Amino acid sequence: MIATDDAIELEAERLLKALLHVDCDPRHRTWNLDTCRSIAPLTLEINRLKREKDAVILAHSYVEPEIIYGVADFRGDSYFLSMKAKEARAKVIVFAGVVFMAETAKILSPDATVLVPDRGSGCSLADSLTGAQLRQLKALYPDAAVVCYINSTADVKAESDVCVTSGNVYHIVEHLPQRRILFVPDRLMGQNLRDELKRRGVDKEIITSDGTCMVHDQFGPADIAAARAQFPGLKVVSHPECTPEVAAVSDFVGSTGAMMKFVRATAAPYYLMLTECGLVGRLQVEDPEKNFIGGCRLCPYMKLNSLEKIRDALRAPTPEQIVTLDEDIRRRAARCIERMFQLAPTD
C-alpha cells in the first residue's frame, strides 16, 4: 500500500517533533522537515507491518534515532529490553540492537519469531568467548560461581550460573554466597567490579576472561582531564565497560539507563558521556536544554541497524534474520537469565 502525500506529511511532522534536537547524528544529518519526509514512507510502512504481523520492535538506545523514535515500541538498556522481551506476547519480536540481544529475546520468548535486522551485528565482548572456552576455564576453577555479563552468546549463558547486566552486576555479585567468582567476558568490567566490591568492603576473588568492548575501551583519563580543563563544572558520566582509570575519575558510572537517569537528576553546565553516541542522541531528544560536549564513540555493530533492514525483515525475513537456538542451550541459558531476574535489585 502506497502512503498518501497527506499521510507522509503528517508522519514527517510527527518525526520532526521527536528528532528536532538530535545534533549527535551518526550520519551527520540535519533533522528538518525534508529529512523527515524522506524517511516517513518507511516508518509508515514499518508501523503498518507491525500491526499486520503482530510484531513489536525493541530498540537499544545506541541504534539510530529514527529507529528509536520512529518505529520502536520499547527503547532502553539491556536489562529493560530483556524484561520487555520476556513479557512480550507478540508473534514477532524485532530486536534493533545486536545479535546477543536478539538471542536473549529468543531465550526468554521461545514461541515468538525473533528477528535481527543484520546478522553481522556482533559485539566485541560477546565474540570474545565461546561456550567451549568457558568450559575450559570452569575446569580450572571448579569452586567458582560462574557469572556472565549479558553481552555474551547463548552458549556462554548456558554454561553460567547467573547472568548480569551493567545495571545490576555489583549488587548481584556482592550477594552471591561464593567467594570466588569467574566473571566473563569483560575484563574491564571485572576490574571495575573488583574495585567496587573493595570499596563496599566485600571480600571476593574475581577471575576474568580477556574480552573488552571496542567502543568503551578507547576512552582514557587524559580525555577527561582535557575536557575538565576546558569546561568548568563538567560532569563526566561513564559506562562500567570503560577502563578502571576512567571509572576512577568519572562523576558517575552506570548502565546506559542509569546514565540517563543521572543526567536528568543532576544539574550541570556540561556533560561528557563516555559511551556510544546513540545515548547522547537520546538525551538530546529527551533533555534538550542540557549541553553535551563531544567525546562519545560509534559502535559499528549497532549502526548496522537501519529502517530498510527492519522493513525487509518484517516483510519477508531471510533465514539469517531469524534467530534460532538449540533447545537444550536455550533452556540452560534461560535458567541463568531467570536467576538474574530473581537476584536483581527491584528499583
Report the interface residues with ligand SF4, using CB under 6 A. 98, 123-125, 151, 213-215, 241, 276, 299, 301-302
- CB closer to ligand SF4, 43 vs 78: 78
Residue 250 DSSP class: -
> 299: closest CA among 182, 164, 50, 125?
125
State how far the Cα of 99 lies from the Cα of 321, in Å rounded to an integer: 10
Report the length, in residues, of the chain: 347
- At closest approach, how far in Å is the CB of 271 from ligand SF4? 19
Q: How many residues bind ligand 13P (CB under 6 A)?
A: 10
Contact map string, positions 93 to 132, toward ligand 13P, x by CB under 6 A: ----------------------------------------
**C-beta separation of 285 from 69 below 8 A:** yes
Contact map string, positions 156 to 185, toward ligand 13P, x by CB under 6 A: ---------xx-------------------
- At closest approach, how far in Å is the CB of 242 from ligand SF4? 11
**C-beta separation of 71 from 55 below 8 A:** no
Q: How far is CA 281 from the centre of its chain?
A: 14
- CB closer to ligand 13P, 37 vs 297: 297
Q: Which of residues 222-261 bind ligand 13P (CB under 6 A)?
A: 239, 241, 255-256
Q: According to the binding rule CB under 6 A, does residue 213 interact with ligand 13P?
A: yes
- CB closer to ligand SF4, 44 vs 154: 154
Q: Which does 165 bind (CB under 5 to 8 A by kind): ligand 13P, ligand SF4, none?
A: ligand 13P
- CB closer to ligand SF4, 302 vs 336: 302
Strand ranges across the sheet with 252-253: 252-253, 235-238, 271-274
195 Cβ contact partners less than 8 Å away, ≥ 6 residues apart:
244, 247, 248
- At closest approach, how far in Å is the CB of 341 from ligand 13P? 15
> 166: closest CA among 269, 51, 274, 20?
274
State how far the Cα of 274 lies from the Cα of 290, in Å rounded to an integer: 16
Type and span of the H or E element at 181: strand 180-184
- CB closer to ligand 13P, 250 vs 256: 256
Q: According to the binding rule CB under 6 A, does residue 77 interact with ligand 13P?
A: yes
Q: How many CB atoms lie within 10 A of CB 30?
A: 9
Binding site for ligand 13P (CB under 6 A): 77-78, 151, 165-166, 213, 239, 241, 255-256
